[in-house]
Amino acid sequence: MSRWLRSVLSGLLAVAGVLLAPTAHALDPTRSILQMYHRAYTQADGAPTDIKSVAQTADGYIWIGADDGLHRFDGQRFDRFPAKRLAKDSISVVRATHQGDLWVGYSWGGLSRIRGSQIVHYTSEQGGPSGEGTTNILISRDGSEAWAVVGRRLWRRTGGKWRQLLPDAQVYSAAIARDDVVWVKNFDGVFYCRPRGGSCARAAGYAGSGMGLAQDRAGRVWTADVARPGRMYRLPDIANVPDAEIPPREYGGTVSARIAGPIFIDRDGSLWCVNGTSGLLRARSALERGARVMDVDAYTAADGLTHDMAGRIFEDREGNIWVSTKAGLDMFRSANVVVERAIPVGANRFGYSAGPIGDLLYIHASTGTDNSDPFGSARGPLFRMLPDGSVERVLDDIWSVQRFARTDDGSIWMASLWGLFRLQGKGFVDVARPPGGETTTIVSVLSRPGNGLWVWQRGNGAWILNGGRWQRDATMPSAQTLGFIQKADPGRDGAIWTARADPYALVRRDPRGLKRFSEADVGIGPIRVVYPDRDVEYVGGEQGLAAFDGTRFHRLGTDRVPELARVFGVATAGPDLWVLSASGILRFNRQAVASAMRDPRAPAPTVELFDQLDGLPAAASPTQQSGSVNTVFPRPDGRIVFLTGAAVVWIDPANLFRNRVPPPVAIQALRVNGHEYDTSRDLNLPAGTNSLEIDYASLSFVEPRRVRFRYRLGGVDDGWIDPGTRRQAFYTRLGPGTYRFQVIAANDAGVWNKEGATLSFTIAPTFLQSVWFKLLLALVLALLAWGAYALRLRQETARIQGRFDARIAERERIARELHDTLLQGFQGLMLRFQSVANVLPAGGEARAKLDDALERADATLVEGRERVRELRAPMSAVDLPQAIADAAAESIPEGGPRFQVMVEGRARELRADACEEALSVATEALRNAARHSGAALVEALVGYQRSGLTVIVLDDGKGIDPALVNSGSREGHYGLVGMRERAERISGRLVVRSRDGAGVEVSLFIPAARAYADHAPRFRFWRRTGAAS
């Protein structure tokens, strides 16, 4: 299966996942465009300008048609399609099909179809539609029919040919319905063309207008009539309905006259419009029957749109809205952090302050601009958020409010930097401050049930207003004792917390008394906020969060949760703990936080962070000029309100947008030494490649900056590599072989595409990396090793030969001495005894004994000479047959058996020890034959074979007892035993064969390696490794 087809199938599966997923609003219709997350792509981001059209192909890429050509976008990078492959430069429309094709229309007419790496052009010169300017392309669901609006005329391609339809009707707008019927509209009327080559006709009773056509999520086509304001109506499904039976219009809602021109319907049914000059417009609920949508939502360049001259609107498979403009590309999606637009955005340095009064939340925004008055900018309106989340203005202008409180009589009190006020109707009453503090700032006001209003004045201490009279709170330490108090917050069970930063002091007063805590007791730095919960009191500081359980503090610091740096607000709602910090909005599980606080060794609690990528304004940290008690407020409708430095925002935990679409993954490029390879197919890389770079992307556009990746290279990586958000993989020191690279990705919500994308590539080996070189190298190494072995063997052989020669020389000296002294003396002695014997009478007993002794002496003398001969140096191999003949002459007496010696093969030089032992064995066999066999003929055979040396002595005598052959000797005689021992010393094999009356055969075989002096070790090695087999 081709990589192109796999990518198409992957894309189609992703689309199916979107369509089959539980229904959820991609863009909440109840929120304005200003409450959505907006991201602009301009030239600074690499985006083209003068964008005319946007589409998304089945593989997940977004394609952009612009005046300067065709561009592909992966969420991070814009890549321009090679212009030379297109028919023309300026692109006016792009359209993707379910089959994975991309159709491209040109500003000067004609169109092209891109399928994988193949491109087919349809221009007037190539049999395509003629005319200037392609403004629309429509494709049937099965891809069999293509429609194009070229030069304001409608063309259809069926059976490979283009044909013009409705020749008399100029086309202003066209759309294809779910039944593949194509609808056309202009100012004269509405027309339709049936699918599969069907006819075209005017729709009777359907008037034309300047309102365009648009398809909803179900595939139905909508437009509006000519009235002002116009009424939206749906065009019927007529593929199988006769012309005469086309039903009348089915109306939806009525929309403002501002909605005119090209329109678009998103998956939630909201109607979008761009008219070329007024930016972006949206009418919510415009398709609902009977709805009247006069309040049009607008978004212009003043709000952040890249340009007011907007072109086309497109919705991708994740539900993001894309708007093309003259200056770039704009994207809109749901924001989980929503800016409350009923309250002014962008307060000044005095910021926002708020206080809950029952189910109401009073909010003050410092929006004053009178900088001539040092405190003029601290003024601003007062708002009240109702339980249902709606906001109403209470006062148009009031000094910056610090705190809010309500006493038992229902009075609502406000303390500002410049006074104490009581809300009264649509105004407020200035109330005199405590005695001695008529001009002193009030730090805090608290309601004391049954005891009126409690206030703390800087430098004047604690006072209680009850029944219109001020009296000092004697239960609190004096201002001089507590010093410069910056915070005075309510705690549980009527407790009051006061705090200051320099020097550090935190005091808690409750009905049981006063408790002071040092900085070490709390452990989170200067205190910013105190929030009383059911069981504990949370304290937020510069370095984390702590909980007071009535006895001591339990800490969760930035060392374990870095996001807790600079806590500005804390609140609980259900199982959640919400925190506003310098990092953004944090959501914890309350139980997990409690466990982590109790046990420092427990895992840190998981934190869900909402930051600027979720819609939080850039200035998240609230200004503390207004001294708000808290900045986090749970509301009765389930929302959580936060006061930031730039706006009042809220989160609806029950309606958080979660991207459920697994992100398509693409491998974009493989680079080797600066050369880029096409990754649409498996690759064969040059020999010697050892380093490479792989570029990959995840085609998730909700928040590409949060997409995470994992990858692995088979045969190199033991497991998955986690590069975070990096979109490149680098490998070095690669050897030749076939590799498989796989990359997977998770979208911004943590949904993984576990199949991901794969790429196989093969690195060819250089000659030095090839198998042949390795075999050659192994052979060379083996030869070198064998050469070293042979050299060592030769050295050892020479050393042993030297020792052997020395021994032989010593033996020859001994032999000479024995011959010249002992044997000669023994011979002379025998002659003397013989002369004595000759004197004795023959036949006498003495003569007989003396003759027997002489015979024995003679035998001993012969044996002695033999041993002396054996002591001398061994003869050469060439002399072995002659040496055997000489031994036979000495061993066989006159008149004994006849003897002959035969030679087979070319005589070779023998090893000294082998020659000596072979001769000894042959001599012993000859003696035995001469003495015991009674043979008439004794023969000796010396054979020089390639495999070894053979020496055979045989006779035709009476033979020997087979039992003697098997036992190897008879008692007192060791000839056979000696012969076997000699054969074993030279690794030979001795065989003695005898049959009664058929003589004896003594056969000795010595292997070539032990017999021949010229047998090379190389030859032995070759024989051992298989040559002999």
pLDDT digits (tens, 9 = 90+) for 145-203: 999 999 999 999 988 899 999 988 999 999 999 999 999 999 999 999 999 989 999 99
Determine the pLDDT at residue 21: 40
Residue 140 predicted with pLDDT over 90: yes
Q: How far apart are CA 82 and CA 695, in angstroms?
A: 19
Report the alpha-carbon angle 198-114-669, nearest 5: 155
- Could you report the per-residue pLDDT of 233-269, keeping only the tens digit for each? 999 999 999 988 889 888 888 888 888 888 999 999 9
Residue 38 predicted with pLDDT over 50: yes
Determine the pLDDT at residue 1024: 39
Q: How many residues can be counted in the chain?
A: 1029
Per-domain residue ranges of the chain: 27-338, 490-655, 665-762, 770-873, 876-1029
Q: Do domains 27-338 and 876-1029 have the same CATH topology?
A: no
- Could you report the per-residue pLDDT of 581-623, keeping only the tens digit for each? 999 999 999 999 999 999 999 999 999 999 999 999 987 677 6
How large is the average pLDDT for residues 546-568?
96
* 723: its two tokens: 């590069």
Report the alpha-carbon angle 544-545-548, nearest 5: 145
Determine the pLDDT at residue 13: 44
Per the DSSP assignment, residues forming a β-bridge with 462 are: 456
Residue 805 predicted with pLDDT over 80: no
Q: How far apart are CA 935 and CA 256, in angstroms?
A: 142
In the 3-class helix/strand/coil scheme, how is 959-973 assigned residue by residue?
Answer: CCCHHHHHHCCCCCC
Could you give the 3-state DSSP secondary structure of residue 539? Answer: strand
Considering only CA atoms, which of 940, 934, 927 is closest in space to residue 973? 927
Cα 401–chain centre separation: 52
User: How does residue 823 score in pLDDT terms, banded at 50, 70 and 90?
Assistant: low
Placement of tokens 């429509």 in the chain: 138
Cβ atoms of residues 482 and 500 within 8 Å = yes
Residue 370 predicted with pLDDT over 70: no
Q: How far apart are CA 909 and CA 1012, in angstroms?
A: 6
Q: How far apart are CA 456 and CA 519, in angstroms?
A: 23
Placement of tokens 């006819």 in the chain: 199
How large is the average pLDDT for residues 898-905?
92
Q: How far apart are CA 862 and CA 859, in angstroms?
A: 5
User: How does residue 372 score in pLDDT terms, banded at 50, 70 and 90?
Assistant: low
CATH class of 27-338: mainly beta
Q: What are phi and psi of 21, to 5 degrees?
A: -70, 155
The arrangement of secondary structure in 665-762, i.e. its CATH architecture, is Sandwich (2.60)
Residue 63 predicted with pLDDT over 90: yes
User: How does residue 390 score in pLDDT terms, banded at 50, 70 and 90?
Assistant: very high
Could you give the 3-state DSSP secondary structure of residue 55? Answer: strand
Determine the pLDDT at residue 951: 94
The arrangement of secondary structure in 876-1029, i.e. its CATH architecture, is 2-Layer Sandwich (3.30)
Residue 3 predicted with pLDDT over 70: no
Instruction: Report the percent of the chain where pLDDT is more than 70.
Output: 91
User: How does residue 996 score in pLDDT terms, banded at 50, 70 and 90?
Assistant: low
Residue 309 predicted with pLDDT over 50: yes
Determine the pLDDT at residue 22: 38
Radius of gyration over alpha carbons of the chain, in Å?
Answer: 55
* Exposure on the CB side of residue 480, measured as CA atoms within 13 A: 0
Instruction: Report the percent of the chain where pLDDT is more than 90.
Output: 57
Residues 6+ apart with CB under 8 A from 388: 637
What's the distance, Cα to Cα, between the start and end of the chain in Å? 50
How large is the average pLDDT for residues 214-231?
87
Strand order in the sheet with 352-357: 352-357, 360-365, 380-385, 391-398
Average pLDDT taken over every residue of the chain: 87
Q: How far apart are CA 268 and CA 23, in angstroms?
A: 10
Rounded to whole angstroms, what are the CA distances from 210 to 22, 251, 290?
36, 17, 22
Rounded to whole angstroms, what are the CA distances from 92 to 41, 136, 325, 577?
19, 8, 13, 51
Determine the pLDDT at residue 841: 82
Highest-scoring range by mean pLDDT, 229-238, 271-280, 516-525, 873-882 = 516-525
User: How does residue 1026 score in pLDDT terms, banded at 50, 70 and 90?
Assistant: very low
- Which one is predicted more confidently, 588 or 1? 588
Report the alpha-carbon angle 724-728-732, nearest 5: 115
Cα 119–chain centre separation: 33
Cα 62–chain centre separation: 23
Residue 7 predicted with pLDDT over 70: no
Determine the pLDDT at residue 924: 87
User: How does residue 1027 score in pLDDT terms, banded at 50, 70 and 90?
Assistant: very low
Cβ atoms of residues 364 and 626 within 8 Å = yes
- Which one is predicted more confidently, 866 or 745? 745
Determine the pLDDT at residue 505: 85
Determine the pLDDT at residue 892: 84
Could you give the 3-state DSSP secondary structure of residue 507? Answer: strand
Per the DSSP assignment, residues forming a β-bridge with 234 are: 222, 250
* 198: its two tokens: 């069907």
* 85: its two tokens: 């492959």
Query: In the CATH scheme, what is the code of domain 490-655?
Result: 2.130.10.10
Across 253-262, 392-401, 830-839, 870-879, least confident range: 870-879
Determine the pLDDT at residue 968: 56
Q: Where are the beta strands (DSSP E) in 911-963?
A: 937-944, 948-955
Cα 975–chain centre separation: 84
* 601: its two tokens: 């060794």
How large is the average pLDDT for residues 290-306?
90
Determine the pLDDT at residue 752: 97
User: How does residue 1 score in pLDDT terms, banded at 50, 70 and 90?
Assistant: very low
pTM of the complete model: 0.76
User: How does residue 350 score in pLDDT terms, banded at 50, 70 and 90?
Assistant: confident
* 855: its two tokens: 């015979």
* 459: its two tokens: 């430098």
Residues 6+ apart with CB under 8 A from 830: 854, 857, 858, 861
C-alpha dihedral sign at 241, 244, 245, 251: positive
Residue 123 predicted with pLDDT over 80: yes
Residue 778 predicted with pLDDT over 50: yes
Determine the pLDDT at residue 626: 44
Neighbours of 684 (CB within 10 A): 12
Residue 224 predicted with pLDDT over 70: yes
Q: What are phi and psi of 897, to 5 degrees?
A: -65, 155
Q: How far apart are CA 109 and CA 88, in angstroms?
A: 9
* 135: its two tokens: 């403004």
Determine the pLDDT at residue 870: 65
Q: Which long-range contacts (CB under 8 A, 24 or more apart) does 130-136 make?
A: 132/108, 133/92, 133/107, 133/108, 133/109, 134/92, 134/93, 134/105, 134/106, 134/107, 134/109, 134/110, 135/92, 135/93, 135/105, 135/171, 136/93, 136/105, 136/171, 136/173, 136/174
- Could you report the per-residue pLDDT of 687-729, keeping only the tens digit for each? 999 999 999 999 999 999 999 999 999 989 999 999 999 999 9
